[in-house]
Amino acid sequence: MKTIGFVAGIALLLGLPVAPAAPAFAADDGGALCANPKQLEGFNTCADIAKAEEEGEVVIYSTNPEAGEAKVLAVFKKMFPKIKTNYVRLQAGALYAKVLAERQARSYLVDVLQLSDMGMVLDFQKKNGYLRYVSPEMAAYKSEYKSEPVGHWIWGAVAPAGLAYNPNVVTEADAPKTWQEALDPKWADAVSVKVSNSGLQHVAWFELRQTLGPDYWKKFAELKPRAFDSYVQQYDRLVNQQDKLIHTAQYSGYLEWKAKGAPVAFVTPPGGLPATAESWGIVGNAPHPNAARLYMDWFLSPAGQKANGEGLYVHSVRADVPAPPGGLPITQFKLLMPEDWQPFLASRPEFQREWDRITGLR
């Protein structure tokens, strides 16, 4: 599994501070650390629970589909019924643009932000967008899954992607076994991808271009792929026999539709699966900072990560959390993720131009 071993290097390139965690309750971090976290049912917290309940709300912006995220939030709400949960979902590019526009207008509406594009995550940290909070639950996560310094953002999940097809339409013998076989002309006008706002699609474009060469996507363009905002649309079209193949098919979507009894099959190409990290953090000037801290502590705990896996079928990077229902452990996949984030960050404009051209959204 490839990890963010180069975060420190990228931090230097972006002008971010690279230093040990600040002392407890440093004046500029809003109380990043606490000496005596409270033990609650299944997790530890540094949040002021009384103030969190007085705030009465936590607002979350994320790229996750609404139906799955609602299941996760329902588990939190059951534990803390006095705290209302509000949720806004957009693809990573659109979501990040929304957050930046709100902050430009000094309209601080969001408490907790999840982005699936590390370029945006690091850029937001560079802009001092996060409220630094070192959750007691962060100690269970490897250093490569956390910001430097710790407390700005952390990986809350990993989402790999392969190929998916409908076995009622495509036989196993005819299904592509490799990324190269997905270029067969027989998939023309019958393959879907995500739009260029997708962090996962950016990783797939970048990694497959690295491993298979730049001509891969030129040949793929000849298939005239259709682009969609969410894997929900992609799998619905696959099940309804509107498409034959999903390229860069999110594994979590496959598990979700499989659990429903839908006719879906997943292919793990031997070359590896592009994967994106879902990075979570509390936003600076959050309107409900105590509720945000409480939510992050719960979410990062085994209980929260289990709820996240069961609701959204994504993989936790915590070693003590099982794979999502029906899924293989993340350690059984060869994940394709940028080892050096600098060229990945720099590639976004080129990716967006090429992807919009490939999918006819130019």
- pLDDT digits 0-9 by tens, 193-214: 999 999 999 999 999 999 999 8
351 and 289 Cβ atoms separated by less than 8 Å: no
CA dihedral sign, ordered 334, 350, 13, 64: negative
234 and 227 Cβ atoms separated by less than 8 Å: no
Q: Kindly state the average pLDDT of the residues 11-29.
A: 34
Task: State pTM to two decimals.
Answer: 0.87
For residue 75, which of 297, 303, 278 has the smallest C-alpha distance? 303
Cα 332 from chain centre: 19
- pLDDT digits 0-9 by tens, 62-107: 999 999 999 999 999 999 999 999 999 998 989 999 999 999 999 9
Q: What integer pLDDT is reported at residue 2 of this predicted model?
A: 45
Residues listed for the chain: 362
Q: Kindly state the average pLDDT of the residues 321-343.
A: 94
Q: Mean pLDDT, the chain, as a whole number?
A: 91
C-alpha–C-alpha distance, residues 76 and 86, integer Å: 12
Q: Answer whether residue 10 shows pLDDT above 90.
A: no
C-alpha–C-alpha distance, residues 229 and 138, integer Å: 31
- Assign residue 111 a region (left: φ > 0; alpha: ψ between -120 and 50; beta: otherwise): alpha
Tell me which DSSP letter residue 136 carries. G
Q: Which domains does the chain have, with CATH numbers?
A: 17-158+276-327 (3.40.190.10), 160-275+333-358 (3.40.190.10)
Q: How many CB atoms lie within 10 A of CB 182?
A: 25
Place of tokens 């404009």: 349
What's phi and psi for 281, nearest 5 deg?
-165, 160
The answer for residues whose C-beta is within 8 angstroms of residue 290's C-beta and 6 or more apart is 47, 48, 49, 51, 52, 54, 55
Residue with the bigger pLDDT between 29 and 10: it is 29
Q: What's the Cα-to-Cα distance from 280 to each of 28, 64, 111, 176, 236, rounded to whole Å? A: 20, 12, 11, 34, 28
For residue 257, which of 74, 116, 67 has the smallest C-alpha distance? 67
Q: Answer whether residue 4 shows pLDDT above 80.
A: no
C-alpha–C-alpha distance, residues 233 and 248, integer Å: 13
Q: Residue 345 — pLDDT band, cuts 50, 70, 90?
A: confident
Q: What's the Cα-to-Cα distance from 124 to each of 63, 110, 283, rounded to whole Å? A: 16, 14, 9
Q: Kindly state the average pLDDT of the residues 143-161.
A: 97
